[in-house]
Amino acid sequence: MTSTKIGDDILLGKIDAMVDADDPFSRIASVIGKDLGLFLMNKQIKNLVNGRLDKHTSEDRLRAMLDKFIQHGENTYVPFEDDMGMTGAIFMQTEAKRCFFEESDERLMMDFTQNTNNLGYYLGTNQHAKQRFF
């Protein structure tokens, strides 16, 4: 591992040159990752490049979307972070859903993981779904 940091002018210049040459983000991530001795994802490089070009990152767009979401009625959201401060999930609730849950004595657990349950089994393939009413 080298002592190079992502804020070094040489490294940032290398990123800028690769962006100017229209190199794909996967190649930029590979080259910069080798220089830093780290594994970098394409999305991290894309956000860095967009930040340097004064474009909005995906985090900025998400923050704007959540701000717009809570401006309508009594909508709320709760971000859940892990021990390292990384957001792993964002739970959103509209005013209509809140009214529904307040009127119901039972609790409903829903799993929206794109046709799979929380164990990764595909629904409708003789596997027991983990969706229940409590």
Instruction: Output DSSP code: residue 110.
Output: -
**pLDDT score for 127:** 46
29 near 62, Cβ under 8 Å?
Answer: no
Question: Measured on CA atoms in the order 13, 14, 15, 20, is the torsion positive or negative?
Answer: positive
78 near 90, Cβ under 8 Å?
Answer: yes
| Residue of 34, 37, 39, 59 whose CA lies nearest to 47 | 59
Does the pTM surpass 0.75? The reply is: no
- How does pLDDT run across 10-59, given as a tens digit for each residue? 788 888 888 888 888 888 888 888 888 888 888 888 877 877 777 777 77
Structure tokens at 94: 């509209």
- How does pLDDT run across 58-113, given as a tens digit for each residue? 778 888 899 999 998 889 898 888 887 778 888 888 888 888 777 776 666 665 55
